[in-house]
Amino acid sequence: MRESNWAGNHTYGADAVVTPRTVDEVRAAVAAASRVKALGSRHCFNDIADSPGGVLLDLRALDVPVEIGDGTVTVGGSARYGDFAQQLHAAGFALPNLASLPHITVAGSVATGTHGSGRRQPGLAAAVSAVELVTADGELRTFTRDDPAFPGVVVGLGALGVVTRLTLDVVPAFDVRQDVFDGLPWEAAYRHFDEIEDAGYSVSLFTNWANDAIDLVWVKSRVDAFTERPELFGAVPADGPRHPAHAAGIPADNCTPQQGIPGPWHERLPHFALAFTPSVGDELQTEYFVPYSAAAAAVRAVREIWHLVAPLLLVSEIRAIAGDDLWLSPCHGGDRVALHFTWQPRQPEVEKLLPVLEERLAPFGARPHWGKLFHGGGLDAGYPRLADFRALAKTLDPQGKFRNPFLDRHVFGG
């Protein structure tokens, strides 16, 4: 029986799955393979991590200790954020941001440009200050910010090697509270988008695109910078906990605590608690990044085809992310707003809709999330450093050991 991803919508085509326990075992497995890719939490919804006819390295058993230093933490590439966040907090530190799910691995999240939320908070990859990488010949190399190739290595899409360790910048630990508001009028969102995004440390808008108002606004505030709000541009405080897909009748049982109850950063910045099955579970995901300045126009463009989107949708999330300089980061070159779609598990219908959705967002230069479902092929126009990335991949992997059909379609164009 072949392995599948978390959502069950992709079955891996590799001939073998190897489970290395040490970095030396990773090096030996990579050196011996003709085709090889690493597996993390398997939370990608496409074939980016597959190695048809090759070998998959399941890194869940990789033994790399957590090392907390002065302003940094070093973890194994297979570590999940939720696994070491409590240890980091106990030492008096925090990561500046976390994604919606604490269940995802550091290496996989960083490699695909995964992010959290917050107009002034960059994606997870921006916290990386060093990457330890096993390259195609089994050599162990470390790249730091002093290396000219570093901005190309961090969001590497698995095309450059197998990540065994990462060093992340940390900040002093802080507490966060979540306050949820119901019913934000669409016009208020368009007119006051900046003020809404500035209402907290991290802000997310949830909608099914069909209702007369945006269903929910989640405002995550640092307790030391909290401002009480009786309402938010027409949205009113929720009278109880809310799941992002509250409009679909999904209970908030697996969500992190809301209603203004303060708690440590790692128990509030994710939307979902580590102890529960992530999100809904049986779902598909798509996400597009548009320039922050185009946020209102892009949201209007999707809203105009709500009748096509809503029947396939569980919920959409709209949130801002600060820009970075990483070559293949979806936020390379400037601040972005992410339009996220959590779909019902109806992949043929979703795939039929994606070209229509991408056509609507094309005028804004939308970039897709590397680890989620999208339609477009080569992405040269969206990534000005793509040629540099291709050259870097040729240097580190001259025989294409880490190539796969996904990379050929979307990155290497062959």
Q: What is the pLDDT at residue 281?
A: 60
Q: What is the pLDDT at residue 377?
A: 63
The C-alpha atoms of residue 332 and residue 325 are separated, in whole angstroms, by 5
Q: Which residues of the chain have pLDDT under 50?
A: 1
Residues 323-332 as b or e (16 or more Cβ within 10 Å = b): bbebbbbbbb
Q: What is the pLDDT at residue 75?
A: 97
Q: What is the pLDDT at residue 2?
A: 78
CA 405 to mean position of chain CA atoms: 21
Task: Check: CB of residue 165 under 8 Å from CB of residue 157.
Answer: no
Task: Check: CB of residue 388 under 8 Å from CB of residue 325.
Answer: no
Q: What is the pLDDT at residue 264?
A: 98
Going by C-alpha positions, the residue among 412, 402, 405 that lies closest to residue 33 is: 402
Q: What is the pLDDT of residues 195-226, one digit of tens each?
A: 999 999 999 999 999 999 999 999 999 999 99
Q: What is the pLDDT at residue 262?
A: 98
Q: What is the pLDDT at residue 101?
A: 87
Q: What is the pLDDT of residues 341-391, one digit of tens each?
A: 999 999 999 999 999 999 999 999 999 999 999 998 657 778 999 999 999
CA 15 to mean position of chain CA atoms: 28
Task: Check: CB of residue 411 under 8 Å from CB of residue 159.
Answer: yes
Q: Strands 263-264, 175-185: parallel, antiparallel or unpaired by DSSP?
A: antiparallel
Locate 119 and state its tokens: 């107009």
Locate 142 and state its tokens: 């470390």
Q: What is the pLDDT at residue 324?
A: 97
Q: Dihedral of CA 124/130/132/136: which sign?
A: positive
